[in-house]
Amino acid sequence: MRQWLTLIGYRFVTWSLALLLRLHLQRRVWQGKEDRERLPERMGNATRARPMGKLIWIHAASVGESLSMLPLLDAILARGDCNALVTTGTMTSAQLLSKRLPPRAFHQYIPLDHPIWVRRFMNYWKPDFAIFVEGELWPNLLMALRSRRVPAVLVNASLSNKSANRWRFARSLLKRILNSFELVLAATKEDEVRFQRLGITHTESVGHLKFAAAPLSVDENEFMRLHAAMGVRPVWLAASTHKGEEEIAAELHQQLAPRMPGLLTIIAPRHSARMAEITAVLAAHDLSHVTRSSGRAITPDDDVFVVDQLGEMGLFYRLAPVTFLGGSLVPIGGHNVVEPMQLNSALIVGPHMESLRDITQRLIAKNAISQVMNADELVLAVQKLLEDSSVREAQLIAAAQVLAAEAQTLQHILLEMTPALERAGIWRPNTPT
C-alpha cells in the first residue's frame, strides 16, 4: 500500500510542476543542452506524422545506449513488418542517430515525465510494442504503458549490489515498476540473480547488448591520411573524457614526453561543447594542439590532437594502440568498453565503472582490459602498454577471446523476445530469426 501511495504522490508532484519543468527546459536551451526547434517534443508534442501500421518504440537514454541498440533495431526491422520510433533525451544522441538510423526508423525526443506530456505522447504515437534499453525508468511513462496494455521489454537490465540492498526495503515498489515489462533481460547472470532475490521472476540473463554491436565504422582514406601524418610517433587516446580528465591527460603527456620522444596525445571529450575549457587546460600546461574541426594537418610540433567532432570514434580507436576510457577517473560511471576492444586498442579504465561493473570485473579477471586507481597509475599503465608490445598484444588477444565468446548475445536477446514480438503482431509466428 505504501508503495502505491508513493507512486500516486510522485504523479501528483509531477502534475503540479508543469511551469517549473518548462522553465527547466528553457534553461537547458540557453545552456545548449536542448534543441530549441524540437523543444515541443520534450512536452509530448510530435514533430512528424505517425507512420501507418505497426509501430515499435525503442527508448535509449543517451549516446551509449542508443548506439548499442542499433543491431537489435536492425534485426527487428529486417524481420518485422513495422516502423520504429526511437527516443532519447540528449542532443548528442539525436545528432548521431540522424546519421545512423536505418530506413523505417526515426527519432523523437522523449517527453519529460509529466503526466499530461506523457499522455499526449502515448495518445499520438500509440506504440504496439516498447523496448527500453538499460535503466532509465520513469514512473508516469511506465504507468501509461501499463494502463494501455502495451507489451514492453527491458533490455540490458542491471542491478548493483548497492542498489539491490536499497531495494530490499521496497521490494513491492520495484516489482510494481518492473511489472510494466513482461520480460526483464538482465545484462549478466549476477544481475539476474539480484533481481530474482528481490522477487522479480520474469527475468533472464542474455548478455550485454554492447557486445552485439558491430565495430564502429572507419573511413579508410582518412585513416591512412592521419596514420601517415602521425608516422612512428607513440600515440595514446583519452576517449570520452569529462571535466578533470583532460587535465589528467595533459599532465600525463608532460610526464611521459621526456621519456617517449614524439609522444602524441589524442583527446576526444565526451561533450565537444566544452572545447573552450579544454583549450584553456592545454594552454595552462603549455601544450600545443590542433583540433579535428580545423582541418589542419598534424605536425611534429603538435603535442595534442583534440577530436571536437562527433561520430568518428571508430577512426581514433583504430589510430591509437592504447586508449584510456574517460568517465572512469571521475565519478561518472564509465562508458562503452567494447568499442575500443573491437578495434584493437588496448584499453585502460579507472575505478569508476559502476555502469558496467560486472562486465568490467570479468574483463579485468581475463586480462582483457587494464584498470588503474588514480592518475599516477594511469601514467605507468600508458607507458607500459606503449613501450612493451608483448604486454599490449597479450591484452588484445585476451580481449578478442572475450568478444568471440560474447558473439551470440544478439541472438540470445532475440530468442527471448520472439514470443512477445509475435503476440504483438510485430513478427509473424514461426518465422526464422
The DSSP symbol for 328 reads: T
Structure confidence at residue 7 (pLDDT): 64
Q: Which helix (H) or strand (E) holds 79?
A: helix 70-79
Pairing outcome for strands 83-88 and 129-133: unpaired
In a domain, 244, yes or no: yes
Higher local confidence (pLDDT), 178 or 389: 389
Check whether 4 has a pLDDT greater than 60.
no
Mean pLDDT, range 390-409, rounded to an integer: 94
Structure confidence at residue 430 (pLDDT): 61
Mean pLDDT, range 58-80, rounded to an integer: 89
Confidence band, pLDDT 50/70/90 cuts, at residue 6 = low
Q: Please, what is the average pLDDT of the chain? A: 91
Same domain, 98 and 230: no
- Of 11-20, 66-75, 294-303, 412-421, give the lowest mean pLDDT range: 11-20
In a domain, 140, yes or no: yes
Pairing outcome for strands 152-157 and 183-186: parallel
Same domain, 146 and 279: no
As given in the structure block, the three cell numbers for residue 151 are 507489451
Catalytic residue among 34, 65, 190, 245, which?
65
If DSSP codes are grouped into helix, strand and coil, which group holds residue 312?
coil
Q: pLDDT tens, 74-117? A: 999 998 889 999 999 999 899 989 989 999 999 999 999 999 99
Length of the chain: 433
Confidence band, pLDDT 50/70/90 cuts, at residue 431 = low
Check whether 413 has a pLDDT greater than 90.
yes
Check whether 12 has a pLDDT greater than 70.
no
Same domain, 125 and 239: no
Burial class (CB in 10 A: 0-12, 13-18, 19+), 373: exposed
Higher local confidence (pLDDT), 164 or 287: 287
Q: Are 58 and 88 in contact (CB under 8 A)?
A: no
End-to-end CA distance of the chain: 43
Structure confidence at residue 432 (pLDDT): 54
Pairing outcome for strands 129-133 and 55-60: parallel
Structure confidence at residue 160 (pLDDT): 73
Tell me phi and psi for residue 318, to 5 degrees.
Answer: -75, -30
65 is known as an active-site residue = yes
- Of 101-115, 193-207, 253-267, give the lowest mean pLDDT range: 193-207
Same domain, 129 and 201: yes
Structure confidence at residue 89 (pLDDT): 93
Q: What is the C-alpha separation between 231 and 254, in angstroms, rounded?
A: 20
- Distance of alpha carbon 427 from the chain centroid: 27
pTM: 0.79
Same domain, 40 and 163: yes
**At 395, which CATH number?**
3.40.50.2000
Q: pLDDT tens, 316-333? A: 999 999 999 999 999 999
**At 56, which CATH number?**
3.40.50.11720
Check whether 5 has a pLDDT greater than 80.
no
Domain ranges, residue 310: 220-405
Total of domains in the chain: 2
CA-to-CA separations, 32 to 29, 91, 95, 271, in angstroms, rounded:
5, 9, 13, 11
